[in-house]
Amino acid sequence: MSDLIAHLRAKLGDGAVLTGDDAVPGGMARSRLGAPIAVVRPASTQEVSIVLKLCHDAGQPVVPWGGCTGLVEGARADGAVALSLQRMNQIEEIDAEGATMTVQSGCVLQTACEAAEAKGLFFPLDLGARGSATIGGNISTNAGGNRVLRYGMMRELVLGLEAVLADGTVMSSLNHLIKNNAGYDLKHAFIGSEGTLGVVTRAVLRLRPKPVSQNMALLAVDRFAHLPRILRNLERGFGGTLSAFEVMWSDFYRLVTTPPAKGQPPIPHGHAYYVLIEALGGNQEEDSARFERVLADELENGDIADAVIAKSKDECARIWALRDDVLQVARNAPIFTFDISLTIGKIENYIAEVRDGLKARWPAMTLMVFGHLGDGNLHLIPGVGDGSAEAHRQVEEIIYGALRRQGGSVSAEHGIGLEKRDYLGYSRSPNEIALMRTLKKAFDPKGILNPGKIFAEA
């Protein structure tokens, strides 16, 4: 192995190959990322190709690293070469006429969003880790976030990409076209594959016009049955401008609006659900008038119990801050985090089944529920047990078992990684998993790319 490290240093330079404590510090980073034999930091696609060819020839596992903000141990690199894309962080081009942006995969999401905004354009992906998550990581997990309802997941925002295969072959498909049906659209093999089929190095992103108007409100709703009806009425009434429909169950809302949380409750406690809605449009005056008119109709028909409309950018930010203050759940430690997807009509019964299952095993349990209800994606954070691996397994069986019976997905937007691979079969058929393995074998015959992630090695 020392020969491989020496070859990597000879090709990339000493500063690009880190080992020991220089590679991964101790503490939390080590516990999340494991202990790689080296962290290699290429500065170009050509250097990524060199690294992968050398590792492929040596049969050495490689784990791609983006911003390392994932939550399913997809970047854990024990005994592997960690391939950090940190130095490949440039925005190469913004085509204002074509509304595209070409970026290197190590570019931080917030940096890309701000660069688009400076050109009067808009990259709509938005998530809590926006300040550290990278475009390459967003692509590898098919990131979702807060505006999937209107703009779709990362898959819908990528026009083309460049990836390096396990043997070092560069597959360049930097398509700038919205419509291109010339054979297989190969980019989709890499989007959501968690670095198991290739390492994404560059991407062409689709941009949209920068919204001129933003309207936000917080709604109180007392019955779950009202939520789907409100969602569809707002989509219709806002004329396609609804960009977020985020729901906080009452326990979570109380948690983020009581000390030591800094948030104040814009609407009093006591309601079952609190809904953050956002609409982005092209004319502030006209859009605000329509926004208020549609909400007034919903209040009148009784589906909404109460509502507060943001009257300034600061008030918008304060409402979003409530939904984003997820770290408050640590007050219920020990906790476990889950990211599931389910059709909206099944969610109420599903949450009731999970709550009953957890309470039967841990009577003093807590369960925080919130998320992107508009696209069926919820985050569940139970506080139960002693935080042990056995407690985690029991919680997984309750949450994923109920989900399997309801026909949902064990991963809405976080991926599978190591943490969820034992439950992949709860959401995918044996034939689907067999075909995934066939693709893995074709793209990575030696199995060196992020081995053990998504499904166990054969």
CATH of the domain at 73: 3.30.43.10
Indicate if 75 and 18 belong to the same structural domain. yes
Domain end point (choices 326, 360, 384): 326
446 in any annotated domain = no
Indicate if 218 and 200 belong to the same structural domain. no
The per-residue pLDDT for 28 is 46
Q: Which residues form the domain of 150?
A: 91-209
445 in any annotated domain = no
Domain end point (choices 273, 308, 326): 326
Enumerate residues 6+ apart whose C-beta is below 8 A from 148: 372, 374, 375, 377, 413
Indicate if 194 and 301 belong to the same structural domain. no
Indicate if 398 and 304 belong to the same structural domain. no
Which residue in this structure is represented by tokens 């994606």? Answer: 377
What is d(CA 334, CA 357) in angstroms, rounded to the nearest whole number?
18
> pLDDT tens digits for 105-150?
999 999 999 999 999 999 999 998 899 999 999 999 999 999 999 9
CATH of the domain at 276: 3.30.70.2190
Stretches in the chain below the pLDDT threshold 70? 1, 25-31, 458
The per-residue pLDDT for 22 is 78
Indicate if 50 and 121 belong to the same structural domain. no
Indicate if 268 and 308 belong to the same structural domain. yes
Indicate if 58 and 153 belong to the same structural domain. no
444 in any annotated domain = no
442 in any annotated domain = no
441 in any annotated domain = no
435 in any annotated domain = no
Q: pTM for the whole thing?
A: 0.94
What is d(CA 99, CA 429) in angstroms, rounded to the nearest whole number?
39
Domain end point (choices 53, 84, 115): 84
448 in any annotated domain = no
State the greatest distance between any 2 C-alpha atoms of the chain, in Å, as a whole number. Answer: 74
The per-residue pLDDT for 25 is 61
- Number of domains within the chain: 4
Indicate if 108 and 51 belong to the same structural domain. no
Indicate if 217 and 181 belong to the same structural domain. no
What is d(CA 79, CA 36) in angstroms, rounded to the nearest whole number?
5
The per-residue pLDDT for 29 is 54
Indicate if 222 and 189 belong to the same structural domain. no
The per-residue pLDDT for 90 is 98
Indicate if 96 and 49 belong to the same structural domain. no
CATH of the domain at 425: 3.30.70.2740
56 in any annotated domain = yes
Indicate if 220 and 202 belong to the same structural domain. no
The per-residue pLDDT for 58 is 97
Tokens describing residue 215: 């309207």
Tokens describing residue 61: 């596992």
CATH of the domain at 137: 3.30.465.10
